[in-house]
Amino acid sequence: MIAVGALKEAAMASTAGNPGEDTIYGGESVRVEQLLPDASARLVTVAHDASLREAARLLVSGTDLVVVCGAEGAVMGVITKTDVVASIGECEGASCALSVAVAMSADVLLCAPHDLVQDVWSRMRARELKNVPITDVDGHPLGVLNARDALGVLLHEARYGESLLRDYVMGVGYR
């Protein structure tokens, strides 16, 4: 299990952006903070000492990931439907008393609002993740970035770049 301090260090390390690398989304770099309204609506949290049954109730249709928070409110890990199913074997009947902390994934990829979406997408793809918690500098959850959000931004960037290239080749806007 990774300690909360290690998660905070990982979050801080993940925020080291590349200021010289701009994307072409509206002429500015697309940062995770631009996707926070949708990401915040997707955020579901549970206390680290909650029961596995409580977390399972939160994993309803449309919720792929529940963020597990410690006593101070910082991210300790995440729990998914896969984590719940994998832990069911340890339960006996309807009296499952396992804690969320036992079943959660503690090796969590985090991102910060000022991270470039393209950078976060690269890390998500490398770890085959479809959701990543967004945290503030203290490790408190702000939202959950979904792969669809990141891909939507990257697709828009590609279309915008294609449009610019087509205009350049056709001489549109140039004299």
- Considering only residues 36 and 26, tell me which one the structure prediction assigns the higher pLDDT: 36
Q: What is the pLDDT of residue 28?
A: 55
- Average predicted confidence (pLDDT) for the chain: 78
Confidence of residue 7 (pLDDT cuts 50, 70, 90): very low
The CA-atom distances, in angstroms, between 138 and each of 9, 29, 74 are 10, 24, 7
Residue 38 pLDDT exceeds 80:
yes
What structural domains and CATH numbers belong to the chain? 4-14+24-170 (3.10.580.10)
**68 secondary structure, DSSP code:** E
Q: Tokens 């801080």 label which residue?
A: 12
Q: Which helix (H) or strand (E) holds 141?
A: strand 141-146
| Sign, CA torsion 78/83/84/89 | negative
Predicted confidence (pLDDT) at residue 103 exceeds the cutoff of 50: yes
